[in-house]
Amino acid sequence: MGAKLWAVVLVVFCTLLTSSAQILYKFGALRLPEIVTNVPLLVGIVLYAVAAVVLIVSFKGGDVTVLYPIIATSYVWVALLSYVFLGELLSVLKFFGILFIFSGICCIGFGSRSSDVMRVP
């Protein structure tokens, strides 16, 4: 079956939401032990909830074995967002890690097109 384009787009959107939430968690962690008025932390929690709904809806559009590995792009987004908003370094090893993540996702995506060979009845 593979995955429909709208489902892939939703999963990528989900990863952007969760990655943004993780950056907000970092900002919220700096304000602990404050919880009730910790806006970054509360917004991060809401983003995670919205992302969960988006992910569930996306699963209607294809195989979980194709769509779920796209979640690994969240590692990429977190690295980039951390570089931009937190001033964290993006080392050569992190860069190669990002390349490996994208390569793996592409292999899974392209492999799903010819997966009929391994499909169990």
Q: Which of 68, 76, 58 is nearest to 6 (CA)?
A: 58
Number of compact structural domains in the chain: 1
Which pTM was predicted?
0.81
Cα(16)–Cα(50) distance, integer angstroms: 11
Q: What is the pLDDT of residue 2?
A: 60
Checking if the pLDDT of 114 tops 60, the result is no
User: Which domain covers residue 37, as residue numbers?
Assistant: 5-117
**Rounded (to 5) percent helix, strand, coil in the chain:** 80, 0, 20
Query: pLDDT (tens digit, 9 = 90+) per residue, 11-66?
Result: 999 999 999 999 999 999 999 999 899 999 999 999 999 999 999 999 999 888 88
Q: What is the pLDDT of residue 120?
A: 44
